[in-house]
């Protein structure tokens, strides 16, 4: 018997129902990921499963006696409460008693609490509450937190870990997770993956982290236009199956529309035609009209554009022996690098190791303790803030974007603010909504819409993927892949870094920053080789010396293969070379034209600047093509 069964559930808050007679069954030991667009009803579905929301129609059947726990999406951030107490209060029945006992033990006011402690201890003895006390300490040790740590002192990533411990402490049969990877670092995500793989109960989780879904999920529940479709397998297999399902749906809709048009043509022939046919055909036509009206089209995709026509200098950023000390330790130590125009840098590392500190130094908000950080010429920086501090929660979506104006300028062209917001899936009604009423994904889309209005030649994104649905992530990746200027992106989304970054900076936690060519997968392979090499050296040092030296065979260097990103880059290079060379020839023809001398000085300056940039880029493209061809043919 399934743990939870949703039987023809119907729920509506507007004209379009959130769930339209949808069905779902969650089995024992299930590993189910819930995916869908922002606003499709994923979080509501978890609340229906938990019993917090009752559907308007249909049944939610829960197996008797099972325990369900849910990891909340936004754990409380400002509680003046020890983490032990927050976790304990997640236990039904005796959680408040454990919390009270802990606070009495740690009460330093000098009051005599012995009588009250004895009373609570007696109650806990009767209800076997001390077993939960042991479990709380075990879970807090597992996530790496001290029991007395105050909730108010924790960052977003640590809050998520405490919330997970609270959800697990009652040993649930079904664990519900809402965006469990938001705000936690890659090391913690991998730990969570391993934990969920060994968890004895069933797991149902919402996530937009495609690597996490691939590694954890055995089934995918797709929430789309009021219906729930379940696909076996991980994320990669789901993508193929979903594309096929949409293709078949399109064929079926086209066939339906063809038949409907035939019936509409028949009915328009008049009374005589209808009298010669059965009334059942008229009734069937009415039913087809109703079905056509109720058909729900797929929500359109976000249309994103970046104005990257402003060209920066060739060297965008240069750091030499850069250091930053917060008074207790070196956050960044002896970091030297050069970032060139067009580089796409992925920044990864654990929470609190200095990634945001480096961004703040680039933005000029912090000064290095020692060393130098030089920015290139003609830089126009656009910055995406992971905490969305640039948005005013009291103002509407429109006012946050256009500050009271009716038009915005997009890549040099005027566009009405409502039309521009519709490109980011904000309806006119939603555009007039205060920002505080938006979901996390909508806030991220609004901030992206806002920063993409600015002409920029260096784009700095700090955790841009949080709360964005997978379709929007795919489009953002395509946009950044074609972005011609410089990109620096901080992210814990491994899939995103693989698809966007040409180079990766890894913060190891000791203040050192390690640079590696390629995305996260390339970095992981490099670190694994380095660890293996260091382990072999250490093993050689510790081993006993051999009496007789054996002849050593010369070690062959392992041939380096092109990464997926480099292979894609190599395929595109001939077209880029041809495009750049063609434009150079066009400009040379302009220089030789009889009208060139009569053009304005500003026009001559711009065309000359474009020519200089293109010639430099063409030279670099040829060098890069030769470099990748050499690796590919080795």
Based on the fold, state whether residues 168 and 79 are members of the same structural domain. yes
Q: Among 521, 540, 555, which residue terminates a domain?
A: 521
Q: Are residues 25 and 149 in the same domain?
A: yes
Domain shared by 95 and 152, yes or no: yes
Report the share of the chain in percent with pLDDT over 70.
87
Which among 105, 106, 87 has a CA at the least distance from the CA of 96? 87
Domain CATH code at residue 603 = 1.10.287.380
pLDDT score at 18: 86
Same domain, 138 and 71: yes
Residue 131 among known ligand-binding residues? no
Q: Which of these three, 215, 238, 261, is where a domain ends?
A: 238
Please check the confidence at residue 206 and state whether its pLDDT lies above 70: yes
Which has the closest alpha carbon to 167: 188, 144, 196, 187? 196
pLDDT score, position 257? 79
Q: Is residue 371 part of a domain?
A: yes
Decide if pLDDT at 298 tops 70.
Answer: no
550 versus 75: which is more confidently predicted?
Answer: 75
286 is in an annotated binding site: no
Q: Are residues 617 and 484 in the same domain?
A: no
Percentage above 90 pLDDT, the chain: 18
Would 246 be classed as within a structural domain?
no
User: What are the Cα distances from residue 572, in Å, to 1, 323, 583, 632?
Assistant: 53, 38, 17, 14
Residue 356 annotated as lining a ligand binding site: yes
Does 36 appear as a known binding residue? yes
User: Over 90: is that where the pLDDT of 187 sits?
Assistant: no
Closest CA to 464 of 485, 450, 454: 450
Stated pTM of the model: 0.66
Does residue 294 lie within any of the structural domains?
no
pLDDT in the model for residue 390: 72
C-alpha torsion 606→609→610→612, nearest 10 = 160
pLDDT at 560 over 60: no
- Measured distance CA(208)–CA(210) in Å, rounded: 6
Residues 23 and 143 in one domain: yes
42 labelled binding-site residue: yes
The CA–CA distances, whole Å, from 571 to 3, 82, 517, 562, 630 equal 50, 56, 18, 12, 14
Is 501 annotated for ligand binding? no
Same domain for 152 and 77, yes or no, is: yes
On whether both 32 and 169 belong to a single domain, the answer is: yes
In a domain? residue 300: no
51 is in an annotated binding site: no
Of 75 and 153, which is predicted with more confidence? 153
Residue 272: its pLDDT value, please?
52
Cβ atoms of residues 98 and 133 within 8 Å = yes
Question: How many Cβ atoms from other residues are within 10 Å of residue 628's Cβ?
Answer: 17
Q: Give 463's contacts (C-beta < 8 A, 6+ positions apart).
A: 183, 386, 490, 491, 492
How many Å from the N-terminal Cα to the C-terminal Cα in the chain?
57
Within-domain flag for 117: yes
Q: What is the CATH number of the domain that holds 389?
A: 3.40.50.300
pLDDT at residue 558, as a whole number: 39
**CA proximity to 175, closest of 183, 167, 166, 187:** 167
Nearest to 345 by CA among 482, 223, 497: 497
* 547 within a domain of the structure (yes/no): no
Q: Are residues 78 and 225 in the same domain?
A: yes
Task: Establish if 464 belongs to a structural domain.
Answer: yes
User: Torsion angle, CA of 436/442/443/448, rounded to 10 degrees?
Assistant: -150
Domain count across the chain: 3
Q: Is 289 a domain residue? A: no
Res. 275: pLDDT tops 60:
no
User: Average per-residue pLDDT in the chain?
Assistant: 81
pLDDT over threshold 70, residue 346: yes
Q: Would you say 265 is a known binding-site residue?
A: no
- What the block records as the tokens of 471 is 């379709």
pLDDT in tens, 315-327: 888 999 999 998 8
| Domain span including residue 497 | 315-521
Question: Does residue 572 share a domain with residue 516?
Answer: no
Instruction: Report whether 427 belongs to an annotated binding site.
Output: no
pLDDT higher than 90, residue 25? yes
37 is in an annotated binding site: yes
Is 223 annotated for ligand binding? no
Q: Say how far apart CA 351 and CA 606 lie, in whole Å.
A: 44
Residue 353, annotated ligand binder? Answer: yes
Read off the pLDDT band of 14 (50, 70, 90).
low
590 lies in the same domain as 499: no
pLDDT at 174 over 90: yes
| Weakest-pLDDT range from 11-25, 114-128, 223-237, 528-542 | 528-542
Question: According to the model, what pLDDT value does residue 551 have?
Answer: 40
Average pLDDT for 190-199 = 85
Please report, for residues 401, 418, 421, 505, 532, the alpha-carbon distance to residue 406 in angstroms, rounded to integers and kept in the order given.
10, 8, 12, 41, 60
On the question of pLDDT at 561 being above 70, the answer is: no
Last residue of a domain, one of 238, 259, 290: 238
Same domain, 140 and 34: yes
Residue with tokens 């039904």: 92
Higher pLDDT, 603 or 78: 603
């Amino acid at each position: 018997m399934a743990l939870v069964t949703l039987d023809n559930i119907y729920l509506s808050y507007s004209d379009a129902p959130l769930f339209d007679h949808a069905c779902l069954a969650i089995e024992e030991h299930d590993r189910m990921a819930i995916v869908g667009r922002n606003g499709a009803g994923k979080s509501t579905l978890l609340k229906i499963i938990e019993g917090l929301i009752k559907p308007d129609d249909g049944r939610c059947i829960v197996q008797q006696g099972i325990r369900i726990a849910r990891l909340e999406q936004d754990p409380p951030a400002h509680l003046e409460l020890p983490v032990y107490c927050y976790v304990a209060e997640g236990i039904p029945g005796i959680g408040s008693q454990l919390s009270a006992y802990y606070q009495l033990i740690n009460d330093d006011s000098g009051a005599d609490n012995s009588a009250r402690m004895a009373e609570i201890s007696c109650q806990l003895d009767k209800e076997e509450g001390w077993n939960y006390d042991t479990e709380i300490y075990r879970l807090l040790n597992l996530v790496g937190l001290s029991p007395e740590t105050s909730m108010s002192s924790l960052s977003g990533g640590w809050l998520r870990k405490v919330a997970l411990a609270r959800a697990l402490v009652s040993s649930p049969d079904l664990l519900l997770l809402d965006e469990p990877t938001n705000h936690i670092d890659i090391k913690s995500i991998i730990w969570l993956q391993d934990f969920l793989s060994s968890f004895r109960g069933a797991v149902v989780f919402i996530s937009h982290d495609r690597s996490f879904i691939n590694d954890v999920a055995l089934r995918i529940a797709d929430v789309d236009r009021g219906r729930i479709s379940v696909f076996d397998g991980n994320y990669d297999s789901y993508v193929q199956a979903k594309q096929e399902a949409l293709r078949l749906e399109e064929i079926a809709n086209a066939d339906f529309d063809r038949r409907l048009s035939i019936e509409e043509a028949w009915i328009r022939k008049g009374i005589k035609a209808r009298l010669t046919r059965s009334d059942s055909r008229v009734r069937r036509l009415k039913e087809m009209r109703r079905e056509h009206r109720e058909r729900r089209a797929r929500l359109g995709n976000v249309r994103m554009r970046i104005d990257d026509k402003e060209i920066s200098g060739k060297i965008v950023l240069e750091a030499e022996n850069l250091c930053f000390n917060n008074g207790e330790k070196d956050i960044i130590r002896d970091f030297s690098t050069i970032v060139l125009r067009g580089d796409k840098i992925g920044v990864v590392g654990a929470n609190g190791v200095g990634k945001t500190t480096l961004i703040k130094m680039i933005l000029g908000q912090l000064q290095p303790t020692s060393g130098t950080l030089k920015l290139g010429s003609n830089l126009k920086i656009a910055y995406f803030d992971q905490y969305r501090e640039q948005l005013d929660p009291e103002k509407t979506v429109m006012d946050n974007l256009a500050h009271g104006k009716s038009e915005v300028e997009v890549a040099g062209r005027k566009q009405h603010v409502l039309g521009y917001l519709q490109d980011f899936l904000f309806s006119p009604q939603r555009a007039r909504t205060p920002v505080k009423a938006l979901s996390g994904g909508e806030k991220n889309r609004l901030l992206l819409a806002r920063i993409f209005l600015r002409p920029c030649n260096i784009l700095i994104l700090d955790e841009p993927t949080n709360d964005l649905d997978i379709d929007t992530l795919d489009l953002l990746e395509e946009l950044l892949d074609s972005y011609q200027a410089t990109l620096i992106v901080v992210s814990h989304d491994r899939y995103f870094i693989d698809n966007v970054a040409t180079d990766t900076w890894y913060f190891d936690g000791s203040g050192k920053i390690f640079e590696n060519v390629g995305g996260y997968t390339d970095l992981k392979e490099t670190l694994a080789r380095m660890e293996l090499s260091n382990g072999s050296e250490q093993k050689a040092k510790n081993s006993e010396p051999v009496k007789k030296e054996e002849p050593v065979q010369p070690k062959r260097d392992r041939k380096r293969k092109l990464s997926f990103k480099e292979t894609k880059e190599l395929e595109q290079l001939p077209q880029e070379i041809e495009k750049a060379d063609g434009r150079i020839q066009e400009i040379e023809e302009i220089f030789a034209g009889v009208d060139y001398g009569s053009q304005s000085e500003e026009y001559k300056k711009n065309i000359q600047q474009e020519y200089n940039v293109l010639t430099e880029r063409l030279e670099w493209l040829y060098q890069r093509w030769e470099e990748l061809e050499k690796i590919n043919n080795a």
